[in-house]
Amino acid sequence: MSTELSPAVTRSAEPAPTAVRLLTALAEHRSLMLGVTAAVIAYALIVGPLPPTVQLVILAAAVAIVGLPHGALDHLVARQLFAPVLGRRWWVIFGLLYLGLAGTMASIWLAFPLAALVIFLVLSAFHFGWDDPLWVRRSSGFWDAVEHACAGAIPIVLPTWLHAAEVTVIFGWLMPAARPLDSGVVGAIAACVASVVLPVAGLRFFRLVFGRPAAPAAAAELAAIVLLHIVAPPLIAFLTYFCGWHSIRHALELADDLEPGRLGSGLRRFAREAAPMTLTTVAAALAAAAALGLTDIQLDSLLASIIFVGLSVLTVPHMAMMALARASLPDTD
């Protein structure tokens, strides 16, 4: 049985006729996540935030169980891309590329933590913008790129602007040895970016509601994600978006790529294929946590560093593989 991923992994512009079952699953996932997001928003409004350490522990568990597996099939993408050219030694180039990019990002965190933070935030926005929102039309042109970038920036910009004090504390956890950031400056920078992001998102919402054809479910998704990042504490908003919306959606797509039209079998194969890389990453994270625990680092800073620095180190090679996969597709415009 082949373990290659189909070109659908790159989110092609037009869904194939055989993707009806996947589209149904994605629609069901959207409906479920609209309910989950509404519950998170209600909890935040009525009960208030959990203690930061509790939020970080829950986030760490969710990232390990749901977040990491969605990026743990990059080796299958690499084999599909590299094996026809490099033969059986494809994994050498893949390993060098993957570990080299991850190591470069880790080195930047050690030497220039503020620059690493900025790189991580920008790359995350692009990653979310290009690989996530189903409500962005896959058309070519400058405006399409603007909508992609603004869509991906929503989970980054809104909490940084509206919860600047909390987010600045989180940033400080990631850079314990660096000069403390000023929450006023952080909030002001985010507000400037939001002045571009929000009008574009508002225009997209208008087009989804009143366009022809209208897409009310997609409009509801956009509104829910915006409201989530306005109301919920930043860590909980990130957990809901990254693990609930982004990671599960990507996992459904990968499962369909592994077993087209057989989503149940695809999800089981996805779990098997993702397990080795996921468990290796979790083991590495635990080893890093043990090493950091020998220092005088605070628990919140340790947990935040393991989660976000770890994700940034993995995001760089993951984005590179997705970009190579998209570039390998013929131009459909």
Domain boundaries, the chain: 17-47+54-327
**Reduced to 3 states, what is the DSSP secondary structure of residue 261?**
coil
Confidence of residue 259 (pLDDT cuts 50, 70, 90): confident
Q: What's the average model confidence in pLDDT over 197-218?
A: 87
Q: Is the pLDDT of residue 212 over 70?
A: yes
Q: Is the pLDDT of residue 241 over 50?
A: yes
Q: What's the average model confidence in pLDDT over 1-5?
A: 46
Q: Per residue in 13-53, pLDDT tens?
A: 444 555 677 788 888 999 999 999 999 999 999 998 899 99
- Which of 175-179, 191-195, 214-218, 318-322 shows the highest mean pLDDT? 191-195
Tally of CB atoms within 10 A around 186: 17
Instruction: Compute the radius of gyration of the chain from its Cα atoms.
Output: 20
Q: b vs e for 218-251, b when ≥16 Cβ sit within 10 Å of the residue's Cβ?
A: bbbbbbbbbbbbebbbbbbbbbbbbbbbbbbbbb
Q: What's the average model confidence in pLDDT over 188-205?
A: 93
- In this structure, what is the dihedral angle of CA atoms 178, 166, 233, 161, given to the nearest 10 degrees? -100
Q: What's the average model confidence in pLDDT over 203-225?
A: 87
Q: Nearest Cα to 30, choosing from 206, 222, 184, 192?
A: 222
Helices (DSSP H) in 90-215: which residue ranges?
Answer: 90-111, 113-131, 142-162, 164-174, 183-210
Q: Give residue 134's pLDDT.
A: 62
Q: Is the pLDDT of residue 246 over 50?
A: yes
Q: Give residue 126's pLDDT.
A: 86
Across the chain, mean pLDDT equals: 86
Q: What's the average model confidence in pLDDT over 242-269?
A: 88
Q: Give residue 14's pLDDT.
A: 47
Q: Give residue 107's pLDDT.
A: 94
Q: Nearest Cα to 255, choosing from 17, 36, 76?
A: 76
Please return the burial class of 321, using the count of CB atoms within 10 Å of its CB with bins 0-12, 13-18 and 19+. Answer: buried
Q: Per residue in 53-105, pLDDT tens?
A: 999 999 999 999 999 998 888 888 888 888 888 888 888 888 898 999 999 99
pTM for the whole structure: 0.87
Helix (H) or strand (E) holding 228: helix 216-231
Q: Is the pLDDT of residue 11 over 50?
A: no
- In this structure, what is the dihedral angle of CA atoms 320, 131, 117, 169, given to the nearest 10 degrees? -150
Q: Per residue in 116-168, pLDDT tens?
A: 999 999 989 988 887 666 666 655 567 777 888 888 999 999 999 999 999 99
Looking at this protein, which amino acid is placed at residue 177?
A: A
Q: Give residue 132's pLDDT.
A: 65
Q: Nearest Cα to 45, choosing from 253, 233, 238?
A: 233
Q: Per residue in 273-322, pLDDT tens?
A: 999 989 999 999 999 888 887 777 888 999 999 999 999 999 888 888 87
Looking at this protein, which amino acid is placed at residue 161?
A: W
Helix axes 74-86, 310-327, angle to 10 degrees: 40
- Alpha-carbon distance of 254 to 257, in angstroms, equals 5
Share of the chain above pLDDT 70, in %: 89
Share of the chain above pLDDT 90, in %: 47
DSSP labels, 12-71: -SS--GGGHHHHHHHHHHHHHHHHHHHHHHHHHHHT-PPPHHHHHHHHHHHIIIIITGGG
Q: Give residue 137's pLDDT.
A: 60
Q: Give residue 333's pLDDT.
A: 42
